[in-house]
Amino acid sequence: MSFAWPAGFLFALLALPILVLYILKVRMRRLPVSTNLFWKQVYDEKPPRSLWRQLRHLLSLLAQVLILCLLVGAIVDPYLPWQLLQARRIVLVVDNSASMQATDVSPTRLAVAKDEAQQLISGLRERDQVAIVLGGRTPEVMVGMTGHIPTLRRALDAIPQSENATHLQPAIELGQQLVGEHPHGEVVVLTDGCLTVGESRDAETTPPADDNPVPVSWKTVAGDANNVGITQFQTRRSLTDPLGYEILVSVWNAADVPVKCRLEITLDDVPVDVLPLELAADEQWHRSLEKTSIEGGTMQATLTAFQNPQADDDSAPSNAVSSDSRRLNRLTVDDTAWAVLPARNRQRVLVISPGNLFLRKVFEANPLVDLEVRETFPESWPADTVIVLHGQVPEQLPAGSVFVIDPENDCEQWTVGKALEHPIITEQDEASPLMTHIRLDNVLVPQAKQLRFTNPPTVLAGTVSGDAIYAQPKRDNGRCLVLSVNLEQSDLAFRTAFPIMVTNALNWFAHQSGRWQPAVNTGALLTIDLSETAVELPTELRWLTPSGVAQTLPAEQTNLTLGPFDQTGVWSLRQPARDAAQEQSADEVDDAAEATLVRSVAVNLADERETDLRPDADLVELTNDRQWGSGWLNRPIWFYVTLLACGAITIEWWLYQRRLLA
């Protein structure tokens, strides 16, 4: 037997004062009495038993010493050698992904997983250590290696329910690192078995490999789980119709039985479409919808009214329909999906041209454009207007948004050189939103202008000789684009690339990205280019979660990386109306009406493996159903020694009260 704190034996010296107190005799008080006749008579009738009196004092002394020895034995914390040699080091990997919200087991899968973990903690032996790790794309250590059971229980109770997809492999690898080379280490994974492709399924029942010395044990918590969920929901503006937009939606009946339901699509709570669905077992339904709206906002798709198609709708009572809904759809987080539809704003456009029909028609075809065409320069340039200069260019470009096509003379931004005969376009900036869905390498360009820029521009399309055909000059008083192609001689005006180019340019001038801004999945990261917005840097930004929690972000860089997203819904990036340098109290939250919306991000679960609640069959076979308890002596020896000390004190007190010890 060994002792964790041998210095505790020094407390045994307290036996010396106890012994001294028993040796010392208490001096009796003298009291005068009238006669000792009666006391002598009592003494003759009951003579003292000197031997028992001495023995009684000795037993009392031994009882006190025994109690002291038991307390000292508890203080030194004794343990047996096998307890140290067989001590376990366990890492609990708890899956708190979205599928763990399923109600096929009561109350939820995560609650059952926590109960399993509590049973393991209750069966810990002395010297065992446990760590708790949350599974995810970025694993989180809830508590490090410890044998303190209350701390482990509090950590389990604090595990939140997330809406992320399942990513257990990083957590398992982290758990193996925490275990290290411990001879009795293991990683216990508590999951529902809804794993992504490529997740490890190494079981502890098989001998561990040399390259993976820490065994992995699996415990699944899943039952009969039918579910219907939205696996994809995206929207984007049409490339040809400025008012049109497209919706892409997918629904999966991840069950072994058919189901009837209803898909409701709204735009800012205004109904857009209602689609009745009748899905067979394991059927995946896909649909692309075309709609028109000048308004933008938040689109929401919701699955409702789950029913068994074999049941009679008219005769089924309401409680039976509710029971069908719970039985056919065990997970609710994937019943709703969001998407963000950009709004379309009207723009005023002033075209100054000698008279090009194709240039005029490309703007007239856009219903969002208020067009004005002139042949000469105005006396004053209008504000909040896109200026399109075709041919003649003033020496000083007007402030604001300017689009120059086939310039014939010099200005402060460039000088016109020789004509380029049959230039071959070989370079395109595919990363720029101005070049989205545009290809110019197959456009016939008999002639273009050679421009020598004052400052190096951003080349959007260039020739093999290095000359810019389509460029973005850099200036401080507004945005500018220049296209040096001769429209009369080129077939660009007859190509679909020309109206798309004009649409991209108008969106860019209005700080509206022409790119497709898809809804992202939970757990993902998103990089936002603030140069495509109307936000002037530097400024302070507010990042609002769907639950309303606000976070202040510095916007000192053009590219801002956000995430990972841990909630489904619509996240919003806003610019406060107040001065960024103005101090605000901690409980003050900017109202949406007082802040400028910079960007909205729709976040959905949209994960087929999370929608399919049926556990992996191979993993179910590997599930270890052993009892996690230690069987006996699962508490330290000092605990039992302390109980013996308490029992000895109780017995000694009882004997003293019975006058058997004095």
Question: Residue 33 has what pLDDT?
Answer: 75
Is a pLDDT exceeding 50 seen at residue 603? yes
| Local confidence band at 633 (pLDDT 50, 70, 90 cut-offs) | low
Quick check: do 85-225+614-635 and 347-510 share a fold? yes
Question: Residue 224 has what pLDDT?
Answer: 72
Could you tell me the fold of the domain covering 228-307+326-339? Immunoglobulin-like (2.60.40)
Whether the Cβ atoms of residue 231 and residue 306 lie closer than 8 Å to each other: no
Q: Which of 233, 91, 130, 112 lies closest to 615 in space, CA to CA?
A: 112
Is a pLDDT exceeding 90 seen at residue 82? no
Whether the Cβ atoms of residue 39 and residue 640 lie closer than 8 Å to each other: no
Question: Residue 13 has what pLDDT?
Answer: 87
Q: pTM value?
A: 0.73
Q: Where are the chain's structural domains? A: 2-77, 85-225+614-635, 228-307+326-339, 347-510, 520-576+595-605
Whether the Cβ atoms of residue 179 and residue 89 lie closer than 8 Å to each other: yes
Structure tokens at 335: 């019943």
- Beta strand pairing call for 595-604 and 520-521: parallel
User: Per mean pLDDT, which range of 98-112, 410-424, 518-532, 597-611 is the poorest?
Assistant: 518-532
Whether the Cβ atoms of residue 310 and residue 270 lie closer than 8 Å to each other: no
Cα-to-chain-centroid distance, residue 299: 22
Is a pLDDT exceeding 70 seen at residue 149? yes
Structure tokens at 239: 């490339």
Residue 506, classified by CB atoms within 10 Å of its CB into exposed (0-12), middle (13-18) or buried (19+), is buried
DSSP string, 376-414: S--SSPPSSEEEEEES---SSPPSS-EEEES--S--SSE
- Beta strand pairing call for 402-405 and 414-421: unpaired
376 vs 569: CA distance, rounded Å: 51
- Beta strand pairing call for 78-79 and 2-3: antiparallel
Is a pLDDT exceeding 50 seen at residue 282? yes
Question: Residue 578 has what pLDDT?
Answer: 55
Bridge partners of residue 451, in order along the sequence: 416
Q: What is the mean pLDDT of the chain?
A: 83
Could you tell me the fold of the domain covering 85-225+614-635? Rossmann fold (3.40.50)
Share of the chain above pLDDT 90, in %: 45
User: Per mean pLDDT, which range of 318-322, 329-333, 556-560, 598-602 is the poorest?
Assistant: 318-322
Instruction: Please give the backbone phi and psi of residue 642, each rounded to the nearest 5 degrees, phi first.
Output: -65, -40
Q: Per residue in 433-446, pLDDT tens?
A: 899 889 898 899 99
| Local confidence band at 448 (pLDDT 50, 70, 90 cut-offs) | very high
Q: Per residue in 200-259, pLDDT tens?
A: 444 433 344 445 578 898 888 987 789 999 999 999 988 778 888 999 999 999 999 999
Q: What is the mean pLDDT of residues 394-407?
A: 94
Q: Per residue in 313-359, pLDDT tens?
A: 545 555 544 666 778 899 999 999 999 998 888 899 999 998 888 89
Report the CATH number of the 347-510 domain: 3.40.50.880
Q: Per residue in 254-273, pLDDT tens?
A: 999 999 999 999 999 999 99
Q: What is the mean pLDDT of residues 440-455?
A: 92
Is a pLDDT exceeding 60 seen at residue 380? yes
Q: What is the mean pLDDT of residues 29-37?
A: 75
**Non-local CB neighbours of 36 within 8 Å, separated by 6+ positions:** none
Question: Residue 204 has what pLDDT?
Answer: 38
